Amino acid sequence: MSTATILARIQALAAISEDHHCLTRTFGSMAFMKASQVILGWMQEAGLSARIDNIGNVRGRLISKNPHARTLVFASHFDTVVNAGKWDGPLGILMALDVVSSLEMDLPFHIEVVAFCDEEGVRFHTTYLGSKVLTGAFDRQQLEIQDAGGTTLGDAIRLMGGSPELLAADQIPPAQWLGYFEIHIEQGPVLYEKHIPVAIVTGIAGQQRSQLVFKGMAGHAGTVPMTMRQDALCCAAECIVMVEQWAMQHRDKVVATVGTLQVVHGASNVIPGEVVCSLDVRGEHIDTTELSHLLTAICEKRNISFEWNIVQETRPVKCNEELTGVLENAIQSTGIEIVKLVSGAGHDAVAVSAIAPVCMLFVRCFKGISHHPLEDVEPADIEASLQVAHAFIQQLIR
């Protein structure tokens, strides 16, 4: 393969979308299933023994002749957010295929290239479905979670041709893991500003996703005096500004985002009675106790009931020092300056880190833009990243 082939395949995958106006490829959609078949074909072309497992991961395997060999997983994801860019996820899969397709010597370990099915978590609001199945951490209670149309996760798996009853059989047992390697666009501006093609990821920030619910009293917009209102939206607005202020005060430790806002039964002539919004807090150490007290005080002042429901929490992850050392040597062998970064975005490495050593390589992207159609990577940076990835695998083999 080559950089030109990777670019062509990026475009091919970008054309597979469930929306004709933008790139959207969510777990279990028709576009998702079409893309999985395309990736399966590419894995077979690369000489891998390939299959789609029960959760929808596309998996290709190179087998070592060593009967006691463990497995190095080389992976990224192929699902997307809504109105996505082309590179987030697929670049890592295609680079992995480039590296393994060129290996000609006997391997001391197995290599499994995995295209993970659900890192973004758009459809069922659950992330890392594929990597949790791979590591044996999948919670079977999640099979009952429903999407916006009322389809359960279990039914979605069946519609894709998978079997929820067989998910446990798709695990790689902990004792069989050698390690995990993921290549991903940076999704930030550091490498772009420094004009450096790659960086070592030293860790991944923890994340807390919550749902905030504000309940007041709906009323007629023309008849309830301003001094007698229990306006849930005004309360939510004040709380959202407080979230920003709190995060600015602690900006060296956390970032916080309110990304969705729903006015329940909203109408132009109705005082909002209930508002639901999301809250995403990330950092190496997350403590939202102070923020909770601040928001509660605002709600009490406005006579609004308040619920803070944690939807998902992931711990901060430290990348493995030994594998990261090999990656650093690989970068030095190509003459590229060493840059080390902590990832503020989540990755499947988070799920894998619970049972195996992980390491990651960031690739420079245009202005650090991600989760947006302007997401882009220059061919020269792809070429440099490929050189590093090849050197990394060669050093592991040696």
pLDDT digits (tens, 9 = 90+) for 292-326: 999 999 999 999 999 999 988 888 899 999 999 99
* Among 77, 107, 79, 106, residue whose Cα is nearest residue 93: 77
Q: How far is CA 148 from CA 57, 122, 290, 374, in A?
A: 23, 10, 33, 28
Lookup: tokens for 205: 């920030």
Place 221 in a pLDDT band, splitting at 50, 70 and 90: very high
pLDDT greater than 70 at residue 273: yes
Give the residue with greater pLDDT, 311 vs 25.
Answer: 25
pLDDT band at 346 (very low <50, low <70, confident <90, very high): confident
Confidence of residue 379 (pLDDT cuts 50, 70, 90): very high
Mean residue pLDDT of the chain comes to 95
- Across the range 2-25, mean pLDDT stands at 95
What sign does the CA torsion over 284, 125, 119, 6 have?
negative
Residue 105 has pLDDT above 80, yes or no: no
Within 10 A of 328 (CB to CB), how many other CB atoms are there?
A: 16
* Contact partners, residue 297, CB within 8 Å, separation at least 6: none
The first and second tokens of residue 313, run together, are 């929490």
Percent of the chain scoring above 90 in pLDDT:
91
For residues 192 and 376, the answer to whether their CB atoms sit within 8 Å is no
Average pLDDT over residues 227-250: 97
Note the pLDDT of residue 54: 98
Paired tokens of 365: 């992207």
Q: What is the mean pLDDT of residues 50-61?
A: 98
Q: What is the pLDDT of residue 45?
A: 95
| H-type alpha helices, the chain | 3-14, 30-45, 90-101, 129-135, 153-159, 190-194, 232-249, 289-301, 321-333, 349-352, 379-397
pLDDT(252) > 90: no
pLDDT at 125 over 90: no
Tell me whether strands 340-343 and 198-204 are parallel, antiparallel or unpaired. parallel
pLDDT higher than 70, residue 231: yes
At 180, the pLDDT band (50, 70, 90 cuts) reads very high
Strand-pairing partners, residue 282, are 207, 255
Q: What is the mean pLDDT of residues 277-285?
A: 91
Residue 284 banded pLDDT, cuts 50, 70, 90: confident
Distance, in Å, from the CA atom of 295 to the CA atom of 288, rounded to the nearest integer, reads 11
- Distances from the Cα of 164 to the Cαs of 115, 143, 209, in angstroms? 19, 8, 26
Other CB atoms within 10 A of residue 225 CB: 7
pLDDT tens for residues 75-88?
Answer: 999 999 999 999 99
Average pLDDT on 339-356 reads 93
| pLDDT for 275 | 97
Position 285 confidence tier, pLDDT thresholds 50, 70, 90 = confident
pLDDT at 329: 97
What's the rounded mean pLDDT across residues 201-205?
93
d(CA 398, CA 106): 11
* pLDDT over 70 (residue 1): no
**Domains of the chain from N-terminus onward:** 3-204+317-397 (3.40.630.10), 206-314 (3.30.70.360)
pTM for the model: 0.85
**Any idea which residue has 């576009």 for tokens?**
31
User: Of 130, 134, 203, 173, whose CA–CA distance to 359 is shortest?
Assistant: 203
Measure Cα distances from 319 to 31, 115, 180, 193, 221 in Å: 33, 20, 10, 24, 54
Which residues, 6+ apart, have CB-to-CB distance to 95 below 8 Å? 6, 183, 382, 385, 386, 389
